[in-house]
Amino acid sequence: MKKKSKQTTDNPFLVKNGAVLDMTIEDVAPNGHGVARLNDISVFVSDTATGDQVTVRIDHRSKHTDHAWGRVFEVIQRGTAWKKHFCQEAIQQHGRCGGCPLGHVSRDVYREIKLRYVADALNAARLAQPALSLHIESPKHYRNKSNFVVHYSPKNGIQLGSFAPRTHHFASMDRCQINTKIISTAQRIVTEVLNEAGTTIYPKPDGVRYVTIKSFESGAVLVDIVVHSDSADQFVDLANGLLAQKFIQGVSITCNPIDGNQIRTQAPAYHCGKNTLTETIGDVSLRMRASTFFQLNNDVARTMYHQAAMWCADAKSIWDLYCGIGGLGLTASKHANARLFGCDEVTSSIDLARRNAEDNQVNGTFAVTDLSTAFPTQWPTADVVLVNPPRKGIDTHTLERLCQLQPKQIIYVSCNPTTFASDGRLLCDAGYTLHNTQAYDMLPYTSHVELLGRFMKH
């Protein structure tokens, strides 16, 4: 690459597309980009960390905000916060995978980035902050389920991987250090079977689009094949062929004929072998399917469930809203010997929650409920309400009802500290106090932070 002349002035008008500027990285954003500031312009630079002195080529200057994005043109001097990314498939290593954007920063800086992300969210909502720490476990080979994009090229044949960030360019995941080792083994087996069968791949009509592999600590896996078709009939032989392979104990076929990025639009249309397998998470055993929503890090889930259960020790009646397959509520109810009431909008999750309650000998009542439009009305008063909503936070209708009902405790599990904070502000305005918070590194090397909070009535 021909070297351009560098400009070191802080004149903001020189921060334009194609400019090459010397910069000092002052910070790291949660998405992994180093941040340099030239006057009032924030320049985001990949593969940099606090203290780096680098020459940056500006790729894009926003016309609407004081932001710009660039790449390292030349390294002048690295600071102590930067380290070489551990994965050869990562963008920082000139690969295409963006799955671990914080894989190039030191452990101390990494911890500070995540805790500051939570603290900033709580401060913005004017929430008092109890002592906060970040619980970190199993930083590699922790991910117990992976959704793979299925890709075909004349050179490499069929591959399973992901999309590069903000593109539909294929990114290899053959050497992924985040998925469990059994997922990587199953990935290779599924790839071989797809190639040997001459499988048609999306976007061709009736092509395979995605493969989900769910691993269990027993060493077994469940596989779900998502196809761009209205019928699973022509994929039955493929499913049975996969079932004959080592480790794979169940295979399902899910039809998704709708173009777009949504992986699943309906329940599986066919399955062979075992439909569910059981995982033990702390004190409870949980049946799961390949497509079941569940925390992706078993070790962190165990620790988080245990902490929430400790806060429920004296409860006689527990509500579990957005309960999924019941893991959080079953753990708390079993510890307290309390009656459990749970709801979720996904019918298949409620079916599993009922079976899991029976398996764990928990007195549980479960209902299919869309909390955006409805709310349980027949349940007895709760001592503790557990909420584990999606990223958007607690539905407005549900939050209003909780503020009216005023249970003694609300224990909130959140995958989004920003919506946790905004919901928490409303709870505090309604008479609650945020007594405890704990952050969990559920998805190491990503910007994700799982937050557990305990709100208590004054």
Torsion of CA 407, 409, 415, 418, to 10 degrees: 80
Q: What pLDDT sits at residue 9?
A: 47
Q: What pLDDT sits at residue 1?
A: 43
- CATH class of the domain defined by 125-138+294-457: alpha beta
Sheet holding 41-45, edge to edge: 20-24, 53-61, 67-77, 41-45, 34-38, 27-28
Closest CA to 420 of 445, 454, 443, 376: 454
Identical topology for domains 125-138+294-457 and 145-276: no
Sign of the CA dihedral running 152, 153, 156, 160: negative
Q: Which one is the CATH code of 12-84: 2.40.50.140, 3.40.50.300, 2.20.25.240, 3.40.640.10?
A: 2.40.50.140
CB 88 within 8 A of CB 58: no
Type of residue found at 260: G
Instruction: Provide the token pair at 302.
Output: 């165990």
> How many whole angstroms separate alpha carbon 385 and alpha carbon 324?
15
Type of residue found at 80: T
Beta bridge partners of 411: 386, 454
- What are the extents of the domains in the chain? 12-84, 125-138+294-457, 145-276
pTM of the entire predicted model: 0.93
Alpha-carbon distances, residue 8 vs 11, 122, 165 (angstroms): 9, 37, 30
Provide the percentage of residues in the chain whose pLDDT is more than 70. 97
Instruction: State the architecture of 145-276 in CATH terms.
Output: Beta Barrel (2.40)
Query: pLDDT, tens digit, for every residue of 322-378?
Result: 999 999 999 999 999 999 999 999 999 999 999 999 999 999 999 999 999 999 989
Which residues in the chain land under pLDDT 70?
Answer: 1-13
Distance in Å from the first CA to the final CA of the chain: 65
Q: What pLDDT sits at residue 143?
A: 97
Query: pLDDT, tens digit, for every residue of 202-235?
Result: 999 999 999 999 999 999 999 999 999 999 999 9
Instruction: Provide the token pair at 325.
Output: 């397959």
> How many whole angstroms separate alpha carbon 99 and alpha carbon 296?
14
